[in-house]
Amino acid sequence: MIPAGLKQRVHALVGPRGYLDRPQDLALYEYDGGIDKHAPDLVAFPRSTAEVAALVKLAQEFGVPFVGRGAGTGLSGGAIPREGGLMIAFARMNRILELDLENERAVVQPGVVNLDITLAVQGSGYFYAPDPSSQRACTIGGNVAENAGGPHTLAYGVTTNHVLGLELVMPDGTVVETGGKTSDLPGYDLAGLLTGSEGTMVLVTKVIVRLMRKPETVKTILAIYESNEDAGRTVAEITARAITPVAVEMLDGVMLRMVEEATHAGYPMDAAAVLLIELEGIREAVEEQVEQVRQACTVCGAREFRVARTAEERDLLWKGRKNAFGAVGRVSPTYYVQDGVVPRTQIAPTLHFIGEVALKYGLTISNIFHAGDGNMHPIILFDARKPGDMEKARAAGEEILTWCIDAGGSITGEHGVGMEKSGLMAKLFPPETLEAILNLKMLFDPNARLNPGKVLPTGRGCLEIRQAPLSTGGVVY
């Protein structure tokens, strides 16, 4: 519960239309794109860094937990207020503050929608590279928190590769700036440390991002297969030929049919899998690479190899890929998206294992993922209204992620650990590493009030490493 005094102070700070506290309004903020839920007790909408800092100081003064929130498109529970308290939502801090095309930089507030940066500069021949599938809705602050990726990160990297500086509010309300427009500033790379810290160390209030020039030529390819394994082998074959596409996406047959029925993007309804491959660069080099990729696909059993002939065809193929999750919603009342990573050479065995898990639990699991970097996204379809289905979906997801660890991979490539995967951290890291992560978190947030219960295991089943109850402000093992 929020103390009455805190609510009054928030009212005075942001005004009567600057916060929500009715249960029916708070219900809109109890979930993200995952399957976990917990409502905040109060949601505040600051308009400036000063108001964010004041809200943080109020949370500390009244001893309540607090969490930041962007668009709520995350998939690991990162923005869910696990212990209630105050939610600081950045929807009103949504301005592009500066566009510096000469130096290929932009300065934005955390509530700016990812795609809006590209829309603001594309007329001048620039774009912002990180492109999560939710880029029409997700915000830069959330991208920074989760170190978001996307289909084109194979060549361009993830969010951290494009964040040059941050303005941030510490858990005690202090405002700090780190990094800047100039590359390789001296001192510790705090921007690199905090990008991907999942909102557990600071709240970001301003971001300096890198802009990139649009390439001369882009070629988008659709390779069609009769088996998942052949598509998986193709990824390793392309890599072996020293070709680095900007994107290599895979969709299996189950996903293909859902996507095509929803978007009519031109995907084959009868295939077992497709690869969506994109090449870009100087025209002559791209043309040569297209032929090398054609050979790699053919060697690995592709039944058909298509190159988009127009920008409209290319956009339609990507529309199908980026609207895939919405297409699933037409078929299944609920679905659970996983985010494991495996080495590229383990993609085919992993797809086979996912099929076995689906049979074991009697669930439909479709696959759509960033094949170029082995970032798997098995989508587990289930009905939360059906007794036992939620538990089966969770168990299936845990088995898949455990397989990814055993295959030499990770439990997340871009969605984050959040509250969804925190219990698996003990399988991925030894106790000494978990303790080091915890000590770093507590250095920034000694009272454990900022986004508590995320990333690290929180109970006896997970090495007994947990944050202490908020009333004590300490750490127990």
Return the CATH architecture of domain 96-213.
Answer: 2-Layer Sandwich (3.30)
Sign of the four-CA dihedral 287, 288, 294, 296: negative
Give the span between the Cα atoms of 74 and 218, in whole angstroms: 29
* Average pLDDT for 54-76: 97
CATH of 333-406, one of 3.30.930.10, 3.30.70.2740, 3.40.980.10, 1.10.10.1100: 3.30.70.2740
How far, CA to CA in Å, does 215 sit from each of 137, 281, 308? 25, 5, 17
* Average pLDDT for 2-25: 97
* Average pLDDT for 450-463: 76
Give the span between the Cα atoms of 166 and 476, in whole angstroms: 32
Strand locations in 226-321 (E): 247-252, 273-281, 304-307
Determine the number of helices (DSSP H) and then strands (DSSP E) in the chain.
16, 20
Give the span between the Cα atoms of 330 and 385, in whole angstroms: 16
Query: What is the location of CATH 3.30.70.2190 in the chain?
Result: 217-326
Tens digit of each residue's pLDDT (9 = 90 or more) over 269-309: 999 999 999 999 999 999 999 999 999 999 999 999 999 99
Q: Please choose, from the candidates 74, 56, 54, the residue with its C-alpha nearest in 3D space to the C-alpha of residue 64.
A: 56
Is 50 exceeded by the pLDDT of residue 466?
no
20 contact partners, CB below 8 Å, separation of at least 6: 26, 29, 42, 43
pTM of the model: 0.93
Instruction: Provide the CATH topology of domain 217-326.
Output: Alpha-Beta Plaits (3.30.70)
Which residues are registered as beta bridge partners of 188? none
Q: Which long-range contacts (CB under 8 A, 24 or more apart) does 388-392 make?
A: 389/334, 389/363, 390/35, 390/334, 392/361, 392/362, 392/363
The CATH number given to 4-89 is 3.30.43.10
Give the Cβ contact number of residue 319 at 10 Å. Answer: 15
Residue 260: the pLDDT is 94
Residue 472: the pLDDT is 38
Length of the chain: 477
